Chain A
């Protein structure tokens, strides 16, 4: 009786996702391994011989790596500071962090076009101060994509880290200090290790998010392709569905790979074992 209810409740959602998500995704992956004469990985072999694609893949990985590192460097101290604040101030700071997170990525990327463009805020400021004599080309470069992605994902790593750091008991820190540990020692021996789970989850979110982000590179990257804009270009502009499916499969594979590597790393680094 109970069991029947259970299946009845789960069935509609499971069916819907299976038909409209699982099947399309698996077919997309599946078709890349077959041609007229049966099973093949020729598509992938051709792909990894293609200099142009390798370059796009490496650029995307590099951009994602830089974004992740910068997000940690900026986000970790900020999250630590926020986690130590009083209840009210902390709530306000969290609202300021969550607000950009909920704001449309189109709006957020567009704001950087206004700032780093040829006639943008930064160039005007530097020109008027006499620091440069012709505008810097920041927009439509990998640097622009990194700036936009850091702006996109920094709030995510901050809220994730604040969530973890809040759970580090104040008593533990007091105990460490009363036993003679310096502030720096407390930070490196207690806070950082206990924040590792949050750091790992945050890094996965930022790295995978950067690797697959579309809006930011589409607006700030110009002709500079990353893997997501390359996928879109093949699917829509060039109508190369076979190529697009291969790129899509590679993106899924890289995503899964990164998540499992980071999870493995997390298990090793977790102080609780």
Chain B
């Protein structure tokens, strides 16, 4: 019996080696001193980290990505918080359909969604690339915002709200003074999860590039196509640090159940 557990433990260890090993390997290659990306590196240097800042398109596209993700996040919150509240607070006919409707952007293949955006939002609606990026990213963030905030609201005791109202507080006032403070951490977690989703997105942004315009992941793809040097390794390390930071905050805010529940 003990033997079998040990076998299973070893198996699990190998699975995690497969999952995390590659990330560790590129992290090591980012410190290469030579010109060619290889493992293990020959000498230690930070020159490829410096090189990130020498490629102007990296700086520009990073700014674009941050702006698109933040602005899209804000709009997704404005649209999503009221919807999540309505879906959690009230029972009504067609609730399941509305719920499914709000999650539907996850179900449509990203690469298809991106194409439809290109053809109709950029093409027919004639929105400029920046606006199309903003709208497209809002669409893909909305399901995450609604899902996380709904789950946060499901733990909220709405009788508190009723109590406040019966004491004469207005509906809107109650929402801002009673409901909102109680789901603060849920909202923050939703914002962070949606931000990562948008910031890492390739499938939609890959259609929305123009002269001097592209998002950060797309710029990374373009760079890999042209140069195979440790710059991307260095960027990967920085992105992983940000990701880990976000993950720990989300864990602090709402635990890990969001990720395991489906």
B-chain residues with CB within 8 Å of residue A17 when the two chains form the complex: 101-102, 104-105, 139, 142
B-chain residues with CB within 8 Å of residue A201 when the two chains form the complex: 262
Scoring A25, A119, A158, A236 by chain B CB atoms within 10 A of each residue's CB, the highest score goes to A25
| Interface residues in B1-21 (C-beta closer than 8 Å to A) | 1, 4, 8-9, 11-12, 15-16, 18-20
B90 touches A2 (CB 8 A): yes
Name the distance in Å between B30's Cβ and chain A's nearest Cβ: 11
A111 touches B236 (CB 8 A): yes
Q: How long is the Cα–Cα vector from A214 to B109 in the complex, in angstroms?
A: 10
With A102-B247, A121-B25, A241-B119 known as contacts, the answer to whether A94 contacts B111 (CB < 8 A) is: no
Size category of the B interface is 35 or more
A contact patch SS: helix
B83 touches A9 (CB 8 A): yes
B-chain residues with CB within 8 Å of residue A266 when the two chains form the complex: none
Does B202 interact with chain A (Cβ within 8 Å)? Answer: yes
With A21-B104, A214-B203, A252-B108 known as contacts, the answer to whether A231 contacts B262 (CB < 8 A) is: no
Pick out which of these stretches binds chain B: A39-47, A61-69, A130-138, A160-168.
Answer: A160-168
Does A142 interact with chain B (Cβ within 8 Å)? Answer: no
A81 touches B102 (CB 8 A): no
Does B59 interact with chain A (Cβ within 8 Å)? Answer: no
Does B80 interact with chain A (Cβ within 8 Å)? Answer: yes
Pick out which of these stretches binds chain B: A49-57, A72-80, A188-196.
Answer: A72-80
Residue of B nearest to A218 (CB): B221
A95 touches B19 (CB 8 A): no
Does A151 interact with chain B (Cβ within 8 Å)? Answer: yes
Q: How long is the Cα–Cα vector from A78 to B8 in the complex, in angstroms?
A: 7
Residue of A nearest to B219 (CB): A106
- Specify which of A13, A25, A166, A235 is in contact with B260 (CB 8 Å cutoff): A166
Q: How long is the Cα–Cα vector from A82 to B233 in the complex, in angstroms?
A: 30
Name the distance in Å between A263's Cβ and chain B's nearest Cβ: 13
A-chain residues with CB within 8 Å of residue B139 when the two chains form the complex: 16-17, 20-21
Scoring B79, B142, B232, B259 by chain A CB atoms within 10 A of each residue's CB, the highest score goes to B259
A residues with CB within 8 A of B: 2-3, 5-6, 8-10, 12-14, 16-17, 20-21, 23-25, 27-28, 74-75, 77-78, 80-82, 91, 93-108, 110-115, 119-121, 124, 151, 154-155, 158-160, 162-163, 166, 183, 198, 201, 205, 208, 211-212, 214-215, 218-219, 228, 231-232, 235-236, 241, 244-245, 248, 251-252, 255, 259
New A-B pairs, 19, CB < 8 Å, besides A107-B239, A120-B39 = A12-B79, A13-B102, A20-B117, A21-B104, A25-B112, A28-B119, A78-B11, A95-B247, A99-B247, A102-B196, A107-B26, A107-B235, A110-B220, A110-B224, A111-B26, A124-B39, A154-B18, A183-B1, A214-B111
User: Which 10 residue pairs are nearest across A and B when measured between Cβ atoms?
Assistant: A163-B260, A212-B109, A111-B22, A24-B120, A9-B86, A24-B116, A9-B82, A13-B79, A13-B83, A107-B236
B residues with CB within 8 A of A: 1, 4, 8-9, 11-12, 15-16, 18-20, 22-23, 25-26, 29, 37-39, 78-80, 82-83, 85-87, 90, 92, 98, 101-102, 104-105, 107-113, 115-121, 124, 135-136, 138-139, 142, 146, 171, 196, 199-200, 202-203, 206-207, 217, 220-221, 224, 228, 232-233, 235-236, 239-240, 243-244, 246-247, 251, 256-257, 259-262
